[in-house]
Amino acid sequence: ALSVRVGSTNLADIVAATVRDPSRVVSPVSLLAAVALVVVVVAETGRLPVDNPSTHLELTMVHEAMVLEYAGPDLALVELASAMRLAVFLGLLANLFLPWGIATTATPAALGIGVLALVAKVGLLGTALAAAEVFLAKQRLFRVPELLAASFLLALLAATTSYFLD
């Protein structure tokens, strides 16, 4: 959806176009795509149990059950990989939809500001994710596939809208 307006699937081009025209951030296309991507990030990183709720194996529906057989350093590596995946997805989300603070030159000052901005944006998104998890903890497990279907619909609407608004 974001690449249609730019005419390229290159992430650097998409971010550069958003930096040049900040009004793209609050466009309907960006808002629909952002909400869809947030739901996908939550599902992909295992923050909600998104497996098939009709399975007879209840342990497959809970993310923590996948790491039951690990302990010690192996468990630490699995948890580190999970945290790194979440950080990468949140960084992608932050830089695609809030690209301010990204280094546009390779000077040490610009890179330092870029790193600080990325840490701040990912920290803010992580805090928002933690708060959302607290309020979504009571969501029924059988409603999760509907959440993913809604995310797909939002992404489809964002892609369709991007063709009509430009």
Over the stretch 74-124, which tens digit does the pLDDT of each residue have? 889 988 988 899 999 999 999 988 888 888 888 999 999 999 999 999 999
The pLDDT of 121-146, averaged and rounded, is: 78
> What are the b/e assignments for 55-69, b being 16+ CB within 10 Å?
eeeeeebeeeeeeee
Lowest mean pLDDT among 4-13, 59-68, 112-121: 59-68
- Burial status of residue 30 (CB atoms within 10 A of its CB: 0-12, 13-18, 19 or more): buried
Are 141 and 61 in contact, with CB atoms under 8 Å apart?
Answer: yes
Q: Rounded to whole angstroms, how far apart are CA atoms 15 and 11?
A: 6
- The full set of domain ranges for the chain reads 2-165
Question: Which CB contacts under 8 angstroms, 24+ apart, belong to 134-139?
Answer: 136/48, 139/48
Count helices and strands in the chain by DSSP H and E runs: 6, 0
pLDDT of residue 88: 94
The pLDDT of 63-69, averaged and rounded, is: 67
pLDDT of residue 120: 95
pLDDT band (50, 70, 90) for residue 45: confident
pLDDT of residue 141: 59
Please give the share of the chain, as a percent, with pLDDT higher than 70: 82
pLDDT band (50, 70, 90) for residue 55: low
pTM confidence score: 0.79
